[in-house]
Structure 1
C-alpha cells in the first residue's frame, strides 16, 4: 500500500531512494502501463493553476520529490517525506540495478544528438545496460506517430521522457497505452546531464539542499524560473496558517 502525503494538494509517495527503486521493480512486473512523476517546487506551483497537470499527478503510480523544497514543505503535513528522490538520481540507480538484466530503456527527449550522447555515455558507465532506442524531443504530428510506433516496436521496459514539465507528463499520460512501455518516467533535463552538457551541483551543494542555488549561479538565465521558489515557500506557509 502506498504511503502518501500532500504538498499543496499534490500527492507524494513517502519513500526513500531504495524504496522508490523497489517500487519501480514491482511496477515492471505488474501488468499494464505505469508512469512516475518527479515534481519539484516549480511543477507543484504549475499544478496550482494547471488542473490537467494536477489530475495527472494525482493519477501517477508514483510521485517522488525532486526538490528539497518539497521535502521541507512536507513537514507541515501529517506525513513527512523521508528524503529527496531526484529524478536524475532515480534513473542512475535504475541503470545500476538493471544493467545486465533483460530490462531495457528508451531515451526520448532533448535537443538533436543529446539523447544519443547520453545513451553512449550511460552504456559505457553501466556495462550491460540495454538502451534499445533513442529519439530527440523535436517532432511534429507526423513524426510523433513514428516515435510512438518505434517505442511500441522496440517495447522498452522503461521509457525515459525528457520534454520538460508539464509537456512530458501530459505526453506520457496521453500516449502510454499506445506505445506500451511498462514504466514511463518524466526526467526533465536529465539527458543534458547524462550527455555532459550540463553539470550537476557538487555533492556539498546537494547535501545542503542548495542545488537550486548552484543552478542559479551557473545558469543565471534561470532566474525567472527560480522566482517560483520563494512563491512556493510563501504559499506553503500561508496554507499552514489557514489550518
Structure 2
C-alpha cells in the first residue's frame, strides 16, 4: 500500500489518480472484497463523532483524498499528498477501464429514475461497458436481503453505491463479505451528475480546487454542511481531535 497520512485519526492514502486505478485493478485481480472510501473534509469531520463511520474508514482497503481540504491538510502536516483524487473522476476512469477490460459493473443508489439515466449515459459514453444490474437507493431494511442476493447473482467486479455519506459506507461495510464484490465504492451524488440532474463545477474551478465553492453557490442548502470545512481547518491547525 502507498504512504498514508493521519488526518484527524483517519488514515488517508497518498495516491495519484493513476496509482488509485492501478490499486483497484489489483483488487479486481485479487478477487477478494475491498471497500474504497472517498474521504473529504466533511466525511472526516463526521468520523470524529461517528464511531461506526470511523471504524469503517479504518477497515477500508483504500481511502482516497477526495477533497481539496484533505490534500491541504496532508501538506500542512508535512506529507506530500500528490493530488486530489475526486471520487466522481475515479468512478468515471474505472468505468472506462471496465469497458476496455470487460469488468462487470453494478449501480446501486440515487433517486428513482436517476440510476437508469446514469446507466444509459455510461453505456453511451463507454462503449462495451457491461452494467449487469442497477437498483435505486430507496429501500427498507427488509429489502436488504433481496438487494444483496441480486448483486451477488449479477457477479460484478465493481459495485458503485450512491446512498450518501455515511449511509453508503456503513451499508457496504456491513455487507462487504456477503456481497463478495472485489471493488465496492461509495460514490455519493455521482449518479446525479452522470444522469445530468446535477452539474459539476467548470473545469477551471475543479483545477483550482474550488469545486466546493461552486457546490455552495449552486446548492445553497448545502451551507450548513459546508460549515464542516472551517471546523476541519481549525482542528488540523490546532491539532485538536475529539
Specify the TM-score bucket, using the shorter chain as the normaliser. Answer: over 0.9
Using structure 2 for the length normalisation, give the TM-score.
0.97
**Does the CA contact (< 8 Å) of 1:101 and 1:128 recur in 2?**
no
Deviation of 1:181 (Å): 1.1
Q: Which residue in the other structure is 1:182 paired with?
A: 182
Deviation of 1:143 (Å): 1.8
SS of the residue corresponding to residue 38 of structure 1 reads strand
Deviation of 1:141 (Å): 2.3
Deviation of 1:78 (Å): 4.3
**Does the CA contact (< 8 Å) of 2:42 and 2:228 recur in 1?**
yes
Deviation of 1:76 (Å): 2.8
Aligned residues: 241
RMSD: 1.3
**Deviations 1:13-67 (CA, angstroms, capped at 9, x unpaired):** 1110000000000000113211100011000000011111111111111000111
SS of the residue corresponding to residue 213 of structure 1 reads helix
Q: Which residue in the other structure is 1:14 paired with?
A: 14
Where does structure 1 lack aligned partners over 5 or more consecutive residues? none
SS of the residue corresponding to residue 63 of structure 1 reads strand
The worse-fitting range, judged by mean Cα deviation, of 169-178 and 140-149 is: 140-149
**Does the CA contact (< 8 Å) of 1:35 and 1:183 recur in 2?**
yes
Q: Distance in 2 between matches of 1:78 and 1:227?
A: 25
Matched, 1:81 2:81: yes
Q: Which residue in the other structure is 1:2 paired with?
A: 2
Deviation of 1:98 (Å): 2.0
**Deviations 1:199-238 (CA, angstroms, capped at 9, x unpaired):** 0000011111110000111111111111111111111111
Matched, 1:131 2:137: no
Q: Which residue in the other structure is 1:198 paired with?
A: 198
Q: Distance in 2 between matches of 1:141 and 1:233?
A: 36
Instruction: Please identify runs of 4+ aligned residues in structure 1 that moved more than 2 A.
Output: 76-80
